[in-house]
C-alpha cells in the first residue's frame, strides 16, 4: 500500500493524542506504516484502527504499556548503563585510555612531595563530571525544545547525571582535597584520582550512548 502525504498526516494526527512520550509515538507510527505496507487494498481508517486494536489492545493498551515501562525504567536503564560500561572493556579504546591514565599516574607519582598538587586533575574531573549534565540540558532544552512530546528518558537521565556529579564531588571531599575528611598518603590520592578518572571516562561515554540509544516501549 502506497500512502500519500495527506494520508500519512492523517495517521499522525489520529495517533498523536494518545502516547505520552515521544518514543511511543514514533514506535506506534512506524509500526502502523510497516503493517500497512504489504496490504493490497485502498487505504481507510478502519485499517489503522484494526492494527492499533489487534496489536496493542487499543489506545488504552498503549497507555498502560507506557505506565508499565515508566515504572521499570530505573532498573532497565541502570542495567543498560552498566552494560554499556562493561562493553567498553571489549573495545580497543580501553587500552589507550588505561595507557594514558597510567602515564598520568607515573607523572604524578614521580613528582610526589609533601605539597603534591592534584588540583589540575581534580578540577578536570569535576568539569568532565558535568559533561553528561551539559549534554542532557542542551539536548532537552535546545535541540529538543520544539518537540511536542517529552522523552521517557528525561527523568532517569536527569537523576543519573546529578548522581554522577555528586559522587565525584564526594570523593574529592572525602579523600583528595586539601581539607579532606580522611587523611591518606599522597600515593593513595594519586591512585584514587587515576581510578576515578577511568570510571568517569566510562560513565560519560556510556551516558551519551544510552541517551542516544533508540528504545522500544510497546514491544518490551
Residue with cell 567498553: 88
Q: How far apart are CA 97 and CA 197, in angstroms?
A: 10
Tens-digit pLDDT string for the chain (220 aa): 888 999 999 999 999 998 989 989 999 999 999 999 999 888 888 999 999 999 999 999 999 998 888 878 778 777 777 777 777 666 656 666 666 666 666 655 555 555 556 777 788 888 889 999 998 899 889 988 888 888 888 888 888 889 889 998 999 889 888 788 888 887 788 788 878 887 888 888 888 888 887 777 776 5
Q: What pLDDT is stored for residue 45 in this prediction?
A: 86
- CA-CA-CA-CA dihedral for 111, 112, 117, 119, to nearest 10: 90
Question: Residue 79's pLDDT is what?
Answer: 79
Residue 91's pLDDT is: 62
* Total-model pTM: 0.70
Residues making up the chain, counted from first to last: 220
The C-alpha angle 78, 148, 6, rounded to 5 degrees, equals: 120
Cβ within 8 Å of residue 94, ≥6 positions away: 88
**Domain range list for the chain:** 5-71, 73-212
The predicted pLDDT at position 81 comes to 77
Amino acid at each position: 500500500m502506497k500512502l500519500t502525504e495527506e494520508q500519512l498526516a492523517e495517521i499522525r494526527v489520529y495517533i498523536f493524542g494518545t502516547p505520552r512520550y515521544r518514543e511511543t509515538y514514533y514506535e506506534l507510527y512506524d509500526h502502523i506504516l510497516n503493517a500497512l505496507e504489504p496490504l493490497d487494498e485502498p487505504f481507510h481508517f478502519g485499517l489503522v484502527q484494526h492494527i492499533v486494536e489487534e496489536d496493542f489492545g487499543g489506545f488504552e493498551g498503549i497507555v498502560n504499556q507506557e505506565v508499565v515501562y515508566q515504572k521499570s525504567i530505573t532498573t532497565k536503564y541502570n542495567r543498560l548503563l552498566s552494560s554499556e560500561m562493561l562493553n567498553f572493556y571489549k573495545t580497543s579504546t580501553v587500552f589507550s585510555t588505561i595507557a594514558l591514565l597510567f602515564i598520568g599516574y607515573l607523572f604524578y607519582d614521580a613528582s610526589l612531595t609533601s605539597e603534591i598538587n592534584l588540583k589540575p586533575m581534580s578540577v578536570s574531573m569535576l568539569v568532565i563530571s558535568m559533561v553528561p549534565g551539559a549534554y542532557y540540558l542542551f539536548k532537552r532544552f535546545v535541540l529538543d525544545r520544539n518537540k511536542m512530546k517529552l522523552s521517557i528518558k528525561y527523568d532517569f537521565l536527569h537523576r543519573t547525571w546529578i548522581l554522577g556529579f555528586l559522587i565525584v564531588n564526594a570523593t574529592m571531599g572525602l579523600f583528595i582535597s586539601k581539607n579532606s575528611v580522611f587523611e591518606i598518603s599522597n600515593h593513595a590520592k594519586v591512585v584514587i584520582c587515576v581510578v576515578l578518572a577511568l570510571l568517569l571516562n566510562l560513565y560519560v561515554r556510556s551516558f551519551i550512548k544510552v541517551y542516544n540509544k533508540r528504545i522500544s516501549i510497546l514491544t518490551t
